[in-house]
Structure 1
């Protein structure tokens, strides 16, 4: 889901990682039902395959053959031997967004934004940030606040790197994710404070569909917009969990209609289906309906 105006919302229920070095996976990505794709040049690509993967991804992105799926490329960090070349090649190819790994300060976003401005003069490419270190969690609000700065205006989303965060903190990824809830919640608060979307981390037990469903629901209830995934078999579960339910959409339409009725003019509180609703509920309802409509349009 998106922070854009309601009429321009972009669902981000399912966001599938794909290794840039795997040409077959890139080809298959053109048919999957994910809302977005993250074509990866960082963790999923060995050092000796970085150059080949960069070219493969640049060619795939430049071909504009992924349909309505949002296309994001995770580059290597700008301080690595590959980062600057990644940024230049991928910016020229024109994805929807570039995902910066290992972000730890707002300055990291501003530096990436400054470099990207020289490469993307149309300002069509957004920036996303991986939140995967203890420093990133401590600095979550200042990282998100970078969106308010001139060089950070293209900043659009936080992506939780829960596996890296678990490695760095020695926390265990147990059912319910109690050791991770503080970090996840702090990042949700930071994202919402500054108009960013936020995506939950991956679930690595590919065959545990019930475990994935539980974790998607946990993320949704925390306020996440969607979930990053590592296998196409996980897409349908994420799409279902992060989509508004039919009864939720029906109630939202009723709330919108109730506040739009002539007799509601000037009223701040109404009763709909036996519930007291305020104008803030009408705003929530408008977003729910917009997301539902965007999902329906994508399915069509």
Structure 2
């Protein structure tokens, strides 16, 4: 599957130390499962979480869902053992928190190579600091392994000494800069988590904002967020019908360069968008 079109509407964090959570993930309709060895695991449970995550991933229990292991950061005593165990387990990708520079991406990619990672195993880099935002394009272009950028909006808001507010005005500039970098580099980019799992309306509003901003999906912390994310980040039936109409009008125009559809002028850029919508809908289905 084209990695740029692989559905990543709803990557769900699951704590690596929680056996019940890892079992429950088998029945959830999320596009991806991120088994977390970092924030969701206490220091005295790190080794157990690492072992449990590796055994779980190696048994391939999640069907077609993309599986990612988030290791602890490069500045922690657990990073190298986490990375080696993650690579050996064979997930689709390894996620690394607090990636701050292109040099760090290259170091992680070299560490993955050294651990025996196959070329198809991706790297998800979490963008969580002002410096990472300012260097996001260089980070995105640093290695062919880098497949996905993930916004770490909680840490970013803290580092900016900003506040969590509806609409996210304090971090909107940073979010948009990273979307620009991702698109310039041809990478997938995911919005950060929404903290209040009881606030379904707030989650939906923030996910819709992220969709309009250009994000490919939103990382999640609770199963109740999966359904809304899958809906919001998928092409609607109206968008699919419109895309088919655009392509039919274009093909009927026999490559004339400009045609009209429902009173709108259609050019190559509209055709490209229509094809992407239909390809994403097909990938989801």
> How many residues get paired?
285
SS at match of 2:182: helix
Counterpart-to-counterpart distance in 2, 1:287 and 1:197: 14
1:2 CA drift (Å): 6.9
Matched-pair contact (CA < 8 Å) for 1:128–1:156: yes
Partner of 2:271: 282
Asked if 1:32 corresponds to 2:28, the answer is yes
Q: How does 1:48-59 map to 2 (within 5 A)?
A: 48-59=44-55
1:260 CA drift (Å): 2.6
Asked if 1:41 corresponds to 2:37, the answer is yes
1:295 CA drift (Å): 1.4
Asked if 1:269 corresponds to 2:265, the answer is no
SS at match of 2:68: strand
Report which stretch shifted further, 189-198 or 117-126: 117-126
SS at match of 2:38: coil
Matched-pair contact (CA < 8 Å) for 1:2–1:11: no
Counterpart-to-counterpart distance in 1, 2:16 and 2:44: 13
Q: How does 1:224-235 map to 2 (within 5 A)?
A: 224-235=215-226
Counterpart-to-counterpart distance in 1, 2:3 and 2:119: 17
Counterpart-to-counterpart distance in 2, 1:166 and 1:113: 27
SS at match of 1:172: coil
Which of 115, 118, 121 is equivalent to 1:119? 115
Partner of 1:253: 244
Partner of 1:132: 128
Matched-pair contact (CA < 8 Å) for 1:45–1:53: yes
Alpha-carbon RMSD across the aligned residues, in angstroms, is 1.3
Counterpart-to-counterpart distance in 2, 1:280 and 1:196: 19
Counterpart-to-counterpart distance in 1, 2:264 and 2:85: 54
Counterpart-to-counterpart distance in 1, 2:250 and 2:146: 34
SS at match of 2:235: coil
Matched-pair contact (CA < 8 Å) for 1:2–1:12: no
Ranges of 4+ aligned residues in structure 1 off by more than 2 Å: 1-4, 118-122, 257-261
Counterpart-to-counterpart distance in 1, 2:110 and 2:271: 38
Counterpart-to-counterpart distance in 1, 2:202 and 2:254: 44
TM-score of the two chains, using structure 1 as the length reference? 0.92
1:124 CA drift (Å): 2.0
TM-score of the two chains, using structure 2 as the length reference? 0.97
Which of 143, 160, 166 is equivalent to 1:175? 166
Matched-pair contact (CA < 8 Å) for 2:87–2:117: no
1:253 CA drift (Å): 1.0
Counterpart-to-counterpart distance in 1, 2:166 and 2:224: 20
SS at match of 2:26: coil
Gaps of 5+ in 2: none
Counterpart-to-counterpart distance in 1, 2:219 and 2:258: 38
Structure 1 2/121 Cα, relative in aligned 2: closer, same or farther at 3 Å? closer
Counterpart-to-counterpart distance in 1, 2:135 and 2:63: 36
Matched-pair contact (CA < 8 Å) for 1:3–1:195: no
1:259 CA drift (Å): 2.3
Q: How does 1:6-155 map to 2 (within 5 A)?
A: 9-146=5-142, 152-155=143-146
Gaps of 5+ in 1: 147-151
